[in-house]
A and B are shown apart, each in its own frame.
Chain A
Amino acid sequence: MSLSKIKLRINGKEIEAEVEPRKLLVHFLREDMGLTGTHVGCDTSNCGACTVLLDGRAVKSCTMLAVQADGREVTTIEGISSGDDMHPLQKAFIEKHGLQCGYCTSGMILTSFWLLSKNNNPTEEEIRKAISGNLCRCTGYQSIVESIKYGAQLMKEEEKGEQEIRVR
């Protein structure tokens, strides 16, 4: 099968690659890029385990081809924090036990990342609605909802902290 050239940004890095036109974005990320934090949980775009950010928007990377990401910006779970630092949402999921087996976690965090980028103070109902394209079989969702609420709070605190530093 002939290969297609694609150029995109993944987690802030410029990437050029050759892929089979039929390859799904999720397989490109996991297998060619070694970004195994993006998971596969279904074959009908129901579970959300494969969620990534495409130009800042949460999408299911099993529903698109790698070639469709040409020229775009992809952020995976590995890209929302660097080194030992953690994004407030990551901290919140640990502290509020927003995970058990951990398989749905990357997708949950990226979907809530997107939610909070649009709405930094979501209600419980808005959170539940936003993550209803992401299935979790372990937690019953309550601790995930609490994690997202807490993450929103941490993000606001962090922002405030940064503003104060800037003011000073």
Chain B
Amino acid sequence: MTTLNWKEGDLAYDSSLFVRGKGHFVDDLKIPGTLYMSVLRSPYARARILSIKGGINGSELKAKMASVGEGADPSQTVSIQPVFATGYVNYVGEPVAAVFGDDRYKATDLLENVEVDYEPMKPVVTIDDALRLPPIHEGMKSNILVQSSRGSDFKDPDSPIVLEDTLENERVATNPIEPRGIVASYSDGMLNVWVSTQSVHSIKDGLVESLGLRPDAVRVMQTDTGGAFGSKGGLYPEYVIASYASMKYGRPVKWIETRREHLSSTNPGRGVRGKVKIFAERDGRIMGLKGDVLVDAGAYGTGIASFSAGFIAMMMTGPYSIENGYVIGRSVLTNKVPQGPYRGAGRPEASFFIERMVDLLADELKMDPADVRLANMSDKPFTSPLGMKIEPAKPFFESAVRELEYRREAKLTNGVGLSFFVLVPAVYPGESARIIVKDGMVKVWLGGNSHGQGHENFARKLVNEELGVPESIVTLFRGDTGMTLDGVGSWGSRSAIVGGAAIVAACRKIKRKVEKESGNYSPELLLSGSYDEFVYEEQKIPLNSFGANLATVEIGKLGNVKIKKCAAYYDVGRALNRDMVIGQIQGGMAQGIGQTLHEGLYYNDDGQLITSSISDAGVPLAEDLPNFTVKIAEHRSSLPHGAKGLGESPTIGVPTALIRAIEVASGKRLRKTPVTPEELIQ
């Protein structure tokens, strides 16, 4: 490790370095002797590989991907992705071979030396293809990767109002501005890996399993991570290949993704369709909901896709007290890059389905949408027939209507949308933290790894509160499996909850030790000693929270949507750092707008990716976005530090409010994101 251009102090989170250009991103890491890796990728959505010559390819490295990270489902076997395509390629962008050069230009040149013969086959591109056509993988009976159901089937109630609709979210590329990247360096029997990630432990577990390594022979360290939004939580083929190559060549290997590779080969989110039927009374009460959810899993079942179907199904009644519910969720295989989590990971989809139906019901009954929502809420806790537990929704919703000034906006504006949701954070099974007190300093590591959220702020605050030491001597270090035995990751609106709880638990353990040694506790006693505690704090209660959004829009002659107002009112639990909370919400609101108006990842009938740049993919520009109005409610959770989740709230609540505003302003029923200007002026 002496050959690194980074010292120990460079391993802490320190956002003040970014304004000086002194961050520590993975591509900034320089180790002498590094080989650069380039990946040859499939140009076909589906083809038989007749022969491959050159580079490292599947005839040499026969490893399979391990299912790790958010929503991992290790039970999948037949559809598991090989690290290199073997026998067949199943999506455009699938790794086929890898080459290595002394710099990135040479590595790219070497791609020409690889020869592959393909025999193209007819691809399965859409969800409908998947249901209709024979399975893309041998050994499967159909393209249905998983099928699960929530709730129990019920006899159609004889309700005066029965509404049915099919609703859809196009796939969205996660597009962090820093693409993925890794440096793997094998020496003296130890594989050291630096990676841009949300979870060093997922990457480590994945490498250990895929390459059959001993856990104590792999160390994964997080670099500064330039955004992730779900896409950097788990293992990818390139990480296995780079690690293998470093072991083979005895040199460090660096791979940095290009944006084009990101679009074709990093797991995108969304890509979900739902058919929903609701049964309602004339007073607005929904008596039952039936749903059929289809998730476009892409070509392999390694990631979150198989988990998504049931997860979305569970949340389909939203925050409403609907007594009867039955939802079937299926994930289907297509010849596209495997689906993964994107900020919200199933939550925005479920919310889109129920909120679109509630708005439809309001239109049918000519009732105010807020009143229809109120008719379906209780001031008691509710357990939905689909298995979701919610707190009393009504008091929060009533305050949201006031805080967002919905009634006034509805009078003033033609084109207002209101949404309401419950956020189910991914707290299970908990998180780890390690705290070392030495030489008068407090060093902290978390199992789940910050990638822009500023976890160092809540770490410092909680240590200060628990141990009474000044924040200035507390440092949070980037994720490092050499420092934490075990851990989960940063995703699913979980870190302030479970990471925070782990820090509190570790602090309390240390405090008890000081008390035991000295008979009492003081910060001075603490700092004069040495302590080292690791905790894995379990968390099984979901700690759901509510949120609401409001949007108002105007639509131009060409169908362009001008957002006048985009407002949020969320219960964030106790806000551990108000500025960070507001920042998270604003950033998420931008992504919610992006999904609604601009973002999509499109394939043609041959399964060719036709979205070719980050701008094409629809990442919003500063000019596209309004200023946001953000209000927060702080209803403490039952945890000692009072935190709840919030990171995904805006990507759940904004699309539903905004699409409703556009629907009202345009007078057109809208069923799909993104909404295009063409459909508004048709």
Contacts and interface: CB of A to CB of B under 8 A. Distances in A.
B27 A132 contact: no
A122 interface: no
Nearest to B583: A97
A102 B259 CA distance: 18
B623 A46 contact: no
A105 B628 contact: no
B19 A90 contact: yes
Interface in B178-195: 178-179
B621 A135 contact: yes
Given A27-B104, A99-B15, A99-B18, A140 B590 contact: yes
Contact of B628 (A99, A137, A140): A140
A86 to B, nearest CB: 7
A145 B621 CA distance: 12
A76 interface: yes
B128 to A, nearest CB: 32
A22 interface: yes
Interface string B570-596: 000000000110011011111100000
B44 to A, nearest CB: 21
Contacts of A31: 103
A93 B23 CA distance: 15
Given A20-B105, A27-B104, A103 B21 contact: no
Interface stretch (B214-222, B296-304, B449-457, B490-498): B449-457
Nearest to B175: A137
A129 B25 CA distance: 28
Size category, B interface: 35 or more
B178 A41 contact: yes
**Which of B104, B579, B580, B583 has its CB near the most chain A CB atoms (within 10 A)?**
B583
Contacts of B258: 43
B178 A135 contact: no
Interface in A77-98: 77-78, 81, 86, 89-91, 93-94, 97
A87 B19 CA distance: 9
A104 B226 CA distance: 8
Contacts, number: 171
Interface string A132-160: 10111111111111000000000000000
Nearest to A20: B105
Contacts of B225: 101
A96 to B, nearest CB: 9
Interface string B626-662: 0110000000000000000000000000000000000
Contacts of A145: 622, 627
A128 interface: yes
Given A140-B586, A140-B590, A37 B23 contact: yes
Size category, A interface: 35 or more
Contacts of B451: 101
A37 to B, nearest CB: 2
Nearest to A110: B21
Interface stretch (B365-373, B400-408, B607-615): B607-615
Interface string B20-42: 11110101101000000000000
B485 interface: no
27 contacts: A37-B22, A39-B25, A40-B256, A41-B178, A43-B613, A44-B259, A44-B615, A47-B259, A99-B18, A100-B452, A100-B453, A100-B587, A101-B225, A101-B226, A101-B451, A102-B17, A102-B18, A102-B19, A103-B226, A131-B622, A135-B177, A136-B177, A137-B177, A137-B619, A139-B583, A140-B591, A142-B628
Interface of A: 20, 22-23, 27, 30-31, 34-44, 46-47, 49, 76-78, 81, 86, 89-91, 93-94, 97, 99-106, 109, 127-129, 131-132, 134-145
Interface of B: 15-23, 25, 27-28, 30, 103-105, 175-179, 224-227, 229, 256, 258-260, 451-454, 579-580, 583-584, 586-591, 612-615, 619, 621-623, 625, 627-628
